Structure 1
Amino acid sequence: MDPKIEQFVGVTGVSHRDARRFLDKYKRVDIAIDAYYNDPNAAAPPRPAAVSTTKLNQLFDQYKDPDSEEITVDGTIKLCEDLRVDPEDVVLLAVAYDLKSPRMGEWSRKGWLEGWKALGADTIPAMQASLTRLRERLGSDSAYFQQVYNYTFDFSRPAGQRSLALDMAQGFWGLLIPHGLEGGAITHIASAQAEEDDVDMTGTGEGWKEAYTQWWFDFLNEKGGKGVSKDTWQMFLEFVRTIDARFETYDAEAAWPSTLDDFVDYAKGRLASGGA
C-alpha cells in the first residue's frame, strides 16, 4: 500500500479510495489533508476517532528501553526508522518540543501520550503525517519557530551545565536557521532603533543572508570558547531577525551580548574585504 495513502487514512479516517482521490489531485500529503478538511463536500466520511491511549501506550512500550520507563537513544533510532525520518532532521526538534522530550533522544511516557494526543496521532502513518505538518509549521510560523528554538537549548543542554557546547550549538543553528529562513519563519523586521532613526534600508537587502550563518560559525571558532550561554542563544535569533544585510543598523548601546558586538565588527570587516 502506498505510504502516502496510509498517512492520509491514518489522519482523516477516510477510505483508501477517497484518500487516493485527494492525493491524485493534490500530490502532497499535507496539502491533501488540508484540502480534505476545508472541503465542505468531504464532510460525509467520518472524522477520525479520538486518539487511543492504548495504542499510544503500546507504541511507547515497543520503543522504550527494557530497563527503564523511557524511550532512550536506541528506541529513538528505531522510531526514526519506522517514521522514515533522519535522526538529524530538523522536524525532530519540533517533535521534541511538542512531546516535551526531557533530553536529546529520550521521551517520557507522559510527554509521549500528551504530545501525540495533541497532535492527533496514535499510529505510525498518522505520526508521519504529523511530521509533515510540523516541518511546514516550523518553517513558516514565527511564534512556533521561536518556541521550538528556545526549547532546543533547554532540552539539549547537559544536566548541570549552564551553557551549550559550541559544536552542539552550531549543529542546531545549522538545522534551524536555514529552515526558518527558507520557510519565512525568520523574516527581516526593522529594529526599533532603525525605525526611530528612519534608516534608509534601500539596497541593504532583506536582512540576514544564508551565508552569514557560516560567518557566525567562523567567528565563533576563531574567537574560541567552549560554550554558548542561554542569553546568547536566545538573543541571536532576535539579532538574525532584526539586523540589516550590511550590519549598519546594529545598536551597540542596546542590551546585546558582547559576543554579538564583536561579531558585527567581524562581519563588517568581511563585507569590506569583499564578503569572502
Structure 2
Amino acid sequence: MPVKKRKLPDSDDQKHKCKIASFTRPQIRGVKPISTEALFSSKRCLAWFHNYAGPDKVFGPEAMERFCEDIGVEPENIIMLVLAWHLEAANMGYFTKDEWLRGMTILQCDCTDRLRSKLDYLRSELNDPVAFRSIYRYAFDFSRDKNQRSLDMDTAKSMLALLLERRWPLFPIFQQFLEQSKYKGLNKDQWYNVLEFSKTINTDLSNYDEDGACECSYCHHHDTPSYQTQQRHLKGKRRFHCPSGTLCLILLFCLVLIFPSMHFFYPFNFFSYLTFPLIAS
C-alpha cells in the first residue's frame, strides 16, 4: 500500500497559524515578590516596652532619656511631644503600658528601627493645621500639674517656645511680654487663644482691635494708658449714678410734695430725669 504523502502547509497558512498562536498564548505575569518585612507584633512591642520599663510597667524620666538616645531624638525635641500625643500619654515624662501599646499599635511600631523610620512622618504632622491644633491643645493638659487648673508660667513659656517659636514671627515680642507680666500662669482659655491670636493677627498688628473680644493675655490691655483712661472715665460717670432705687423714690416723693405743680404739668419729664440714672445702672 503506497504511503500517502503529507501535504506541507503553505507559507500563508503557517503565518496565519503563528499569528493566532501568538495572540491566544496566555501571557505570564511576573510573580510579585513576597514582602520580607515582618508584620506588627504586639508581643514584640510589649517586650520592647519592658526593655525600658522593667517590672514597674511604667518607664519614667531615666528610662525616657535612654529611650530618646536609642531613637536618636533629644528629650526636649518637639517630636517627643508628637509621640506622646499619639500615645495619649497623661503625664509628661512617663509612658504606661496601656498608652504604649495603644499608640504604637496605631503607628505600627514594635521596635526601635520602625520608630526611627516614622520620625519624618511625626515631624510632618506639625505642618497639618488640624493635627497641630490638636497637639497644641493636648500640650496644656499634658504639661500642667494635675492638681492645678492652670499651667504655671515657667512651664507655659517653655511649651510655647517649643510650639510657636518657629511658627510665629511675633513670638519673641510675646515672650518678652510674658517675662515682664505679673501673670503667674495661663488657664486653658488663655492657652487656646494664644494660638488663635498668632494665626489671625498680622505681624504688623494692622488688624488688631484693642477693644475686641480676644481673651488671651497678650490682648488684655489693663496696663495700657488707653485702658486706664477709659476706667477713669467710667469711674467719673459712676459718681452720678443713683446709689439705690429707694433713695430715688424718697427724693421723688419729697419734690412732689414741695412742688405739686410740677407733678401735674411735668410728671413724665421730671420722673424720667430722676429715674434715668437708676435705669442706666
TM-score of the two chains, using structure 1 as the length reference: 0.65
**1:174-213, CA deviations, whole angstroms, 9 ceiling, x for partnerless residues?**
111134x2xxxxxxxxxxxxxxxxxxxxxxxxxx52xx21
Q: Distance in 1 between matches of 2:80 and 2:125?
A: 13
Residue 104 of structure 2 is aligned to residue 116 of structure 1: yes
Aligned to 1:99: 87
Hey, what does 2:125 align to over in structure 1?
137
1:128 counterpart (116, 126, 133): 116
Aligned match of 1:153 in 140, 143, 147? 140
1:256 positional shift? 1.4
Deviation at 1:69, TM superposition (A): 2.3
Q: Which runs of 5+ in 1 are unaligned?
A: 1-40, 182-207, 267-276
Q: CA separation of 1:247/1:112 partners in 2, compared to 1, >3 Å: closer, same or farther?
A: same
Residues 236 and 258 (structure 1), Cα distance of their counterparts in 2 relative to 1, 3 Å cut: closer
Q: 2:181 aligns with which of 215, 223, 228?
A: 223
Matches within 5 A, 1:1-276: 44=33, 46=35, 48-64=37-53, 66=55, 68-138=56-126, 140-179=127-166, 181=167, 208-209=168-169, 212-257=170-215, 259-262=217-220
Q: For residue 262 of structure 1, report the CA deviation from its aligned partner.
A: 3.6
Q: Secondary structure at the match of 1:64?
A: helix
Q: CA RMSD in A?
A: 2.3
Higher RCO structure (Cα 8 Å, ≥6 apart): 1
Matched with 1:28 is none
Identical-pair percentage: 30
| Rg (Cα) greater in structure | 2
Whichever residue aligns with residue 97 of structure 2, its letter is R
> Residues 166 and 115 from structure 1, CA distance in 2 versus in 1: closer, same or farther, beyond 3 angstroms?
same
- Give 1:237's aligned amino acid: L
User: TM-score, length-normalised on structure 2?
Assistant: 0.64
Bigger mean CA deviation after superposition, 140-149 or 68-77: 68-77
Q: How big is the shift at 1:220?
A: 1.2
Which residue identity is paired with 1:233? W
- Check conservation: 1:216, 1:263, Cα contact below 8 A: no
Which residue type is aligned with residue 180 of structure 2? E
Q: Distance in 1 between matches of 2:95 and 2:197?
A: 32
CA distance in 2, matches of 1:47, 1:256: 56
Q: What per-residue deviation string (whole Å, max 9, x for no partner) do you get for residues 5-46 of structure 1?
A: xxxxxxxxxxxxxxxxxxxxxxxxxxxxxxxxxxxx9x7452
CA distance in 2, matches of 1:44, 1:265: 70
1:65, CA displacement in angstroms?
Answer: 5.3
Deviation at 1:263, TM superposition (A): 6.8
Distance 2:54 2:40 in 1: 24
| One-letter amino acid of the structure 1 residue matched with residue 104 of structure 2 | W
Closer, same or farther: CA 265–74 of 1 in aligned 2, 3 Å: same
Q: CA contact under 8 A between 1:99 and 1:111: conserved in structure 2?
A: yes
Paired residues, number: 194
Q: Aligned letter for 1:260? A: Y
Cα drift, residue 50 of structure 1: 3.2
Cα displacement string for residues 51-89 of structure 1 (whole angstroms, at most 9, x for unaligned residues): 1111111111111154x3211111111111111110000
Aligned residue identity for 1:46:
S
CA shift, 1:260, in A, is 2.5
Is the contact between residue 104 and residue 156 of structure 1 (CA under 8 Å) also seen in structure 2? yes
Deviation at 1:47, TM superposition (A): 7.5
Gaps of 5+ in 2: 1-29, 225-281
